[in-house]
Amino acid sequence: MALINKIREKSGWAVGAIAIGLGVFVVGGDLLGPNSRLLGNNANTVGEIAGEEIDYQEFDNVLQQVKADYENRVGRAASEAELAMLREQAWNQLIFKIALEKEYERLGLEVTDDELVDMVRGNNIHPAVMQAFANPQTGEFDPNQVQQYLQNLDATGTRDMWMGFEQSIAEDRLQSKYANLISKTVYVTSAEAKSFYQAQNSAASLKVLFVPYDAISDSAVSVTDAQLKDYYERNKDLYKVEDGRTVEFVTIPVTASQEDSSYYKQEIATITKQFASTSNDSAFVNANSDVPFNGTYVTPGDLPEELRKQLPLQEGKVYGPFTNNNTVALFKVTDAKTADKSAARASHILIRPESDTPEAKAAAKAKAQDVLTQIKNGADFAQMAVQHGSDGTASRGGDLGWFPEGQMVGDFDKAIFSFNGTGLLPNLVETEYGYHIVKVTEPKTNESYKIAAVERTIEPSESTRDAAYAVADELAGTSGSTDEFQENIGKNKSLVKETSANIGKNQVLVNNLANARELVRWTYAKDTEVGDVSPVFEINDQFVVATLTGKREKGYASVDDVREELTAAVRDELKAKQIMEKLQSQKGSLDQIAAAYGSDAMIRTADNVTFASASIPGVGVEPVAVGKAFGLKPGARTAPFEGQAGVMMVELTSLNPAPEIDDLSNVKQQILATRASRAETKAFEAIKEKSEIKDNRVRFF
């Protein structure tokens, strides 16, 4: 049976390898049966791929296999978020299986029976077979295991599983053939390799005059609808969009009320008395706590903060109740003993030398001594740590927390654990890191405790839940349109409206609402129209009511949908025109032009800029600027031009050509590998796009 499980694992691996190779991206949603009220009909069609309809059962078969493989690997049931991922993976597997099969058929690609035998028992064993039939002692592939397994297929009842395994490795081999076929279309000339090498290794020194777009205020530039439309038409491909829905919604959280808290306080008072008198602490905890009993001994550093404030603790005493974030806790000390090592709590201020020279160390020591003197004279330790500390503890006043003896570096550890009581150590402590001013904030102790803890989550009562639902139900029931929804929210000051724009049909997250698939499905339901108000949804211990305010269909976004983005782009174009006109009217060097323009013009210098980098240190990612610079002769400069973040003029100060190289073979291989991967990805993207996919999963999931 162990071997059967291994085959089952590797079968999932082979199928998964195809999906991974094709660059599967994962999002998804909750499972909802085909008879859901959101369907609008009883259709079982989940979608259509390359002209083939995918019914619910076919999709679910793939999903269940993907789910079983995943759960077998992780050793537990998939969570809701993971199920969403697995549904998307199953859908992508179907897309590429169906679409690629048509490509294989068109190209005459196949895996013959002889080839399949060769992958299982021949000279070219498939990796999945090699892993499944490896010798457990040596880790090497054992062909005898394959032979023995195949001879016992009927006896073990695994013939069907083996047939599925064979199919998966055959599909994987087909995908490899297709990928290899695509990769063979890539070619790199010597001229291309030389150009690539020079782009990577030639270095330029630049001088840049830069005027950012925000040098002109937005209010000083007017943008017309005609300008927006013109920019949109010139850059239309930037605004391709998928289906989207926009909603406004409110959440009514279900949280424990004051009455609920009072009830828990009364109950915990009774439990406290019983806890103090019980003789079987572990049984009492397991019967009364949300968290099971843990009988390990802990040092003060591992105690809850509430107990650390009570040190030293008394054996047999019950501490609490303590309330924190809807949790109430009682702690009972069931035993105390002396630990092998002491623990303490301390704070420090580390002054690091700027270098390893004697002068730097002397300067650091003098500074540390000055800080120590100030603290002795009354300066606040925590404030001095924030001001002078040079490690990660500075932001929290130098606090190191509790730590056991032997954890810190030698001299530091010795200084703390040879000190009795609490307070500021009188002398500096020198370590390999620098000079430390140290304050012991909790005295060393070698006591350890066994703690029994009763912890209860304060949950809202049914009446509290009903009251929250009543608010949501009234809002949904009295709002027949978006206008009425907004009007009703205005009447109830406790309700806060949120907006989520362009929700995708397979989206799980809506703003901060996790697992919001039911809300998303409602927005895409056949009979949901703009202006409709939803029923009440319960999502993550809160009730949600929404109204659909917008629909966006797949294709190109409308000007109104991207008006804000378009306005910013057009505004930058208009600003660039103004800046360039002003710069063009100036004469002289870049420094003189910048001075004449005004304080908004900045001069930046940059060394070791490569053509391949597309960025200029001190300026940012500016591929056009880099390209223009490498087209200049040393000493020449460009006219003003529009960049990513502002208008620039670039002057080439010097150019260091790449060293000569005789053998470009490694460069060619580097380019070939990149192009082959890109060609394969592009081919798969094209196949997917041409498959005319109709995705109706939102009706079911």
Query: How remote is the C-alpha of 503 from its chain's centroid?
Result: 19
What confidence score (pLDDT) does residue 100 get? 86
- Split at pLDDT 50, 70, 90, the class of 501 is very high
- Is 686 in a helix, a strand, or coil? helix
Task: Please give the residue that has the higher pLDDT: either 445 or 533.
Answer: 533
Report the mean per-residue pLDDT for the chain.
87
CB 442 within 8 A of CB 345: yes
Least confident of 29-43, 164-178, 322-336, 622-636: 29-43
| CA atoms of 409 and 424, how far apart (whole Å) | 19
| CA atoms of 282 and 275, how far apart (whole Å) | 10
| CA atoms of 68 and 222, how far apart (whole Å) | 59
What confidence score (pLDDT) does residue 13 get? 40
Burial of 33 (0-12, 13-18, 19+ CB in 10 A): exposed
pLDDT at 286 over 90: yes
Overall average pLDDT of the 278-295 stretch: 91
| CA atoms of 42 and 701, how far apart (whole Å) | 15
Q: Does domain 256-459 have CATH number 3.10.50.40?
A: yes
CA distances from 239 to 242, 375, 557 (A): 10, 61, 6
Phi/psi at 215 (5° precision) = -65, -25
Tokens for 216?
Answer: 């002109």
Phi/psi at 59 (5° precision) = -65, -45
What confidence score (pLDDT) does residue 696 get? 85
Tokens for 493?
Answer: 């000051």
pLDDT at 22 over 60: no
- pTM of the predicted model, to two decimals? 0.60
Say which residue the tokens 């020198």 belong to: 430
Q: Does domain 203-239+563-656 have CATH number 3.10.50?
A: yes
What confidence score (pLDDT) does residue 637 get? 95
Give the torsion through C-alpha atoms of 383, 385, 386, 391, to 10 deg: -170
Say which residue the tokens 């843990």 belong to: 294
Task: Please give the residue that has the higher pLDDT: either 43 or 452.
Answer: 452
For the chain, the straight-line distance linking the first and the last C-alpha, in angstroms and rounded, comes to 35
- Split at pLDDT 50, 70, 90, the class of 325 is confident
Overall average pLDDT of the 223-227 stretch: 95
What confidence score (pLDDT) does residue 566 get? 95
| CA atoms of 697 and 487, how far apart (whole Å) | 34
CB 145 within 8 A of CB 3: yes
What confidence score (pLDDT) does residue 157 get? 87
| Residue range 30-87, pLDDT digits in tens | 333 444 433 344 468 888 898 889 998 999 998 998 888 888 888 888 887 788 888 8
pLDDT at 630 over 90: yes
- Split at pLDDT 50, 70, 90, the class of 1 is very low
> Is the fold of 203-239+563-656 the same as that of 256-459?
yes
pLDDT at 433 over 90: yes
93: alpha, beta or left? (left if phi > 0; alpha if psi -120 to 50):
alpha
pLDDT at 552 over 60: yes
What confidence score (pLDDT) does residue 19 get? 38
| CA atoms of 178 and 126, how far apart (whole Å) | 17
- Split at pLDDT 50, 70, 90, the class of 656 is very high
- Locate all alpha helices (DSSP H) within 24-124, ordered by sequence: 56-74, 80-107, 113-121
Overall average pLDDT of the 199-227 stretch: 94
pLDDT at 591 over 90: yes
What confidence score (pLDDT) does residue 258 get? 80
Overall average pLDDT of the 239-265 stretch: 88
- Is 552 in a helix, a strand, or coil? strand
As a three-state string, the secondary structure of 413-460 is HHHHHCCCCCEECCCCEEECCEEEEEEEEEEEEEEEEEEEEEEEECCC
What confidence score (pLDDT) does residue 43 get? 64
Domain boundaries of the chain, sorted by first residue = 2-182, 203-239+563-656, 243-255+462-553, 256-459
pLDDT above 90: percentage of residues in the chain: 52
| CA atoms of 646 and 618, how far apart (whole Å) | 13
